[in-house]
Amino acid sequence: MRFTATPLAIPDVMLVGPHRFADSRGYFMVTYEATEFRRLGLPEFVQDNQASSVLAGTLRGLHLQRPPHAQGKLVRVLKGAIFDVAVDLRDGSPTFGRWVAATLTAQSAEQIFVPRGFAHGYCTLEDDTEIAYKVDNAYAPQAEVGILFSDPAIGIDWPVAATAAILSDKDRALPLLKDLGDAFPLRGVP
């Protein structure tokens, strides 16, 4: 596996490239190896999730869980393509409020590791897109928070106009980062 820093060099967000072995039958690849993650000081995962989006322009996010239920994620595309975003919300981080993005495709098989303390979201770039992601902590609905995808203070350059994005009612009603206040303590996020 190849681990590389993301283009904006926000610490701890990494692109993970599995090695693909192809022949006339198709291909084989290892998408996660606990020993390799452990060697780099990265977490082990406890849950696998999968999501499907019917239309290009479907936007999910920005989501995260408050401590002690914070989650790190390893995201990959099974079918189609996404514009995947991580926003640094770690208390005291020099890159607090900055975002980094990567285009992930099923064809490239590249993954992104989003550590604890980052809001996460993605926009589908193709119809019938499917993603799979591992998390290092269980889902805890009481700890779930989010930030509006179009928060101007963050300024994410999404590949879809805000008026054209396909959102859930829940994601459309998320607050701005400045409005979360004390409801969003990140102290203690490793």
The pTM assigned to this predicted structure is 0.89
Residue 91: per-residue pLDDT: 81
Name residue 75's amino acid.
Answer: V
Separation between Cα atoms, residue 15 and residue 102, nearest integer Å: 8
Q: Report, as an integer, the average pLDDT of 6-34.
A: 83
Q: What is the DSSP string of 130-146?
A: EEEEEESS---GGGEEE
Closest to 106 (Cα-Cα) out of 77, 75, 74, 130: 77
Whether 94 shows a pLDDT value over 90: the answer reads: no
Q: Report, as an integer, the average pLDDT of 19-44.
A: 88
Q: pLDDT of 148-158, one tens digit each?
A: 999 999 999 99
Whether 23 shows a pLDDT value over 80: the answer reads: yes
Is 139 an annotated catalytic residue? no
Is 122 an annotated catalytic residue? no
Catalytic residue among 19, 27, 32, 63: 63
Mind listing the domains of the chain with CATH numbers?
2-182 (2.60.120.10)
Q: Report, as an integer, the average pLDDT of 45-53.
A: 95
Residues whose CB falls within 8 Å of the CB of residue 63, separated by 6 or more in sequence, listed in order:
119, 120, 121, 144, 145, 146
Encoding tokens for residue 86?
């991580």
Enumerate the H helices of the chain as residue ranges: 34-39, 169-172
Encoding tokens for residue 79?
């079918």
Residue 62: per-residue pLDDT: 97
DSSP β-bridge partners for residue 27: 22
Q: pLDDT of 95-110, one tens digit each?
A: 888 999 999 999 999 9
Residue 182: per-residue pLDDT: 57
Catalytic residue among 19, 69, 122, 133: 133
Q: pLDDT of 115-160, one tens digit each?
A: 999 999 999 999 999 999 999 999 999 999 999 999 999 999 999 9
